Amino acid sequence: MKDVKITVMRIARYDDLIAQFENPIEHTCDLVLGQTFVSQNGQKPTNMCDSAWESMQFFVQSLANGKGNFYDGWMKNPMSAMISCNDGFRPVSFLLETIE
């Protein structure tokens, strides 16, 4: 299996939606722009957010198993994917790349 590098590429925050719809919470995302993780054997990296992992797990495991070219040429590098977590208030975009 290949290792997969996961890089935080963009972090967004929608304060208007948070104010309108979200109940107050004490702790949110700890990710930092440029932060990297490495998935080994298709497993969730230590300290990876559960919600983010659920959004990318299929793609990471596919890349780890040598599969790629998602959606018939979606990415310039067929052994990569750009995935966002499913937090509608604070979405984070991740670049997934196989490590040769």
Distance CA 76, CA 53 (A): 23
Q: How many angstroms separate the first and last alpha carbons of the chain?
A: 10
**Per-residue pLDDT, 25:** 85
**Per-residue pLDDT, 40:** 97
What are the pLDDT digits (tens) for 63-83? 999 999 999 999 999 999 999
What are the pLDDT digits (tens) for 4-57? 999 999 999 999 999 999 998 888 888 999 999 999 999 999 999 899 999 999
Beta-strand (E) ranges in 1-100? 3-11, 36-39, 80-84, 92-99
**Per-residue pLDDT, 24:** 86
**Per-residue pLDDT, 46:** 93
